Amino acid sequence: LNEARAALANSQYYRTWLMKLEGLPEETWKPEIESARQTYRLLAESVADAELEKRFKEDLESTIRLARMDASDLQGLPLPSQ
């Protein structure tokens, strides 16, 4: 179940990245990134493995940074790797 949740959150993160690059309005991408943020938080709080917890916390922080970034900041960055 956690693998499926992580895959969903990853896809929402990348969709948000692309939507922001395309210049779509906040009301379009905000629900996607908020859902990804909530899923990463759930994963970080529910796993027993310390390594996975660290990874999910880092993903959560990346999601928060993406939500706060301006589209012009994204244009100079390479697409995130998985």
Distance, C-alpha 74 to centroid of its chain? 14
For 22-55, what is each residue's pLDDT tens digit? 999 999 999 999 999 999 999 999 999 999 999 9
User: CA angle 13-14-19, nearest 5°?
Assistant: 100
Tokens 């692309």 locate to 18
DSSP the chain: -HHHHHHHHHHHHHHHHHHHHTT--HHHHHHHHHHHHHHHHHHHHH---HHHHHHHHHHHHHHHHHHHS-HHHHHTSPPPP-
Q: Confidence class of residue 71 from pLDDT cuts 50, 70 and 90?
A: confident
